[in-house]
Amino acid sequence: MSSLPAVNRQILYAKRPEGMPTLDCFKLESGPIPTIKTGEVLIRNYYLSVDPYIRMRMEAKDSYAPVMQIGEKMVGRTIGQVVQSLDNSLQVGDWVVGRMSWEDVSAAPVKELQKIDPSFKPLSAFLGALGSTGLTAWVGLMAFGKPVAGETVLVSVASGAVGSVVGQLAKLRGCRAVGIAGGARKCEIVVKELGFDACIDYKSPEFEKNLAQALPGGVDVYFDNVGGPITDYVLTLLNLRARVALCGTVSQYNATELYGIKNYREFFNKRVSLHGFVLSDHRDLWPEATREIQEAYSAGKLKHLETVAEGLENAPQAFIDMLNGANVGKQIVRIV
């Protein structure tokens, strides 16, 4: 059973970054253990998820999410154990996942928490393939990519938390799955560990030629996490009536000058549909998505990949590393 620490370490948003965040954009402070009120529980956090979308919230201007203010606690999903409860629906000892902060101990209303089965291994999968990144992959691919068996699904940031699940789901639907990732090591993992049919290294000087060769039948579904020059080139490989599920543009989050997409006309020429989406708009799909993902995971047909950093104090560096693409799979910070 979890015990409470003497103080609650918290990571605050300290400075607005220009381009890639640096460590001085964050500040570690110690505060008191929060007190809870009726309907809330106190949670000892064990695992923290650091995600690309947080970078967008560090901008001065609203993007798809409201901006964070300097001095606020950094937000993120965590997995933790209930150590106090003022609600009958959760007992001390229960394990939960929810949107909390980069901190040791969180107070949260029970209605914003999801109880999880602690016998699951690794538990951190509930921040990845079995959590919101897995759901994001499912919703984007199924609702907007609409893959049909035999079609080709291309995924950018294929080694990332979302992309790694997209390709596996595409394979389960009988599609050819091709990934794009940075570096030979990641590409090897994407093919050998995750079962993609091919994965092309965008850092190679031969990237465009290699990608075209890996896609002799073109692209029917493009699951885009990256934007920028990679997406610009991919647009020229789309088939007639291709579908683009746009989940993010991570190549542009730290850009001081935005890249211009020259091949916009391909959306017309190929009669392409594109959908920008975020998970929270599609709650109606979560039950079906959760069922399919959990069944596939339990059957050993879907893997959760993760990269784990040790210690809450290292969350800022893990976040920066993740933005630099150092992670394979879900970037997790182990707090306890």
Q: Which residues bind its own copies (CB under 8 A)?
A: 56, 63-64, 227, 231-232, 246-249, 252, 258-278, 281
State the nearest-atom distance from the C-beta of 178 to its own copies, in Å.
Answer: 21
Whether 128 and 330 have beta carbons less than 8 Å apart is answered as: yes
| Residue number, 123 or 143, with CB nearest to its own copies | 143
What's the rounded Cα separation, in Å, for the pair 23 and 25?
5
- Least Cα distance to 187 among 228, 155, 141 occurs for 155
Instruction: Give which of 13, 75, 14, 72 is closest to 45, Cα–Cα.
Output: 75
| Distance from the first to the final alpha carbon of the chain | 12
Residue 9 CB, nearest distance to its own copies (Å)? Answer: 32
DSSP structure class, residue 141:
I
The DSSP element (H or E) to which 180 belongs, if any, is strand 176-181
Q: Which residue, 117 or 284, has its beta carbon nearer to its own copies?
A: 284
CA contacts within 13 A on the Cβ side of 107: 11
286-298 vs 132-139: helix axis angle to the nearest 10?
A: 110
Task: Give min distance, CB of 135 to its own copies, in A.
Answer: 16
Residue 210 or 273 with smaller CB distance to its own copies: 273
State which residue, 4 or 255, has the beta carbon closest to its own copies: 255
Q: How far is the CB of 321 from its own copies (least distance, A)?
A: 22
Beta-carbon count within 10 A of 198 CB: 20
Nearer to its own copies, 262 or 301 (CB): 262
DSSP state of 143: I
Q: Under the phi-then-psi rule, with left for phi > 0, alpha for psi from -120 to 50, and beta for the rest, what region is 48? A: beta
Least distance from its own copies to the Cβ atom of residue 336, Å: 34
Cβ at position 268, least distance to its own copies in Å: 4
- As measured in angstroms, the least distance from the Cβ of 283 to its own copies is 14
Q: Which is nearer to its own copies, 33 or 274 (CB)?
A: 274
CB 113 within 8 A of CB 98: yes
Closest separation in Å from C-beta 197 to its own copies: 27
75 close to 11: Cβ distance less than 8 angstroms: no
Token look-up 């560090």 returns 58
Give CA angle at 149 (145, 151), nearest 5°. Answer: 60
Closer CB to its own copies, 187 or 226, in the complex? 226
**Residue with smaller CB distance to its own copies, 83 or 245:** 245
